[in-house]
Structure 1
Amino acid sequence: GVQMKLEFLQRKFWAATRQCSTVDGPCTQSCEDSDLNCFVIDNNGFILISKRSQEMGRFLGEVDGAAMTQLLSMGVFSQVTMYDYQAMCKPSSHHHSAAQPLPISAFLTATRWLLQELVLFLLEWSVWGSWYDRGAEAKSVFHHSHKHKKQDQLQPCDTEYPVFVYQPAIQEANGIIECGPCQKVFVVQQIPNSNLLLLVTDPTCDCSIFPPVLQEATEVKYNASVKCDRMRSQKLRRRPDSCHAFHPEENAQDCGGASDTSASPPLLLLPVCAWGLLPQLLR
Structure 2
Amino acid sequence: MSLDMLEKRLWAIAKQVGRFFGEVDGSTMASLIKMGMFKKVSLFDYQAMCKVGHHHGNSARPLLSPFYAVAAILRWILSNALMFLLEFNFCGLWHSDYFVDGHKTKKVDALQPCDTAYPGYMYDSMFVVQQIPDSNLILVVAQADCDCSRQYGPIPLEPKEIKYIL
TM-score range, shorter chain: 0.3 to 0.5
Q: Which is helix-richer, 1 or 2?
A: 1
By relative contact order (CA 8 Å, sep 6+), the higher-ranking structure is 2
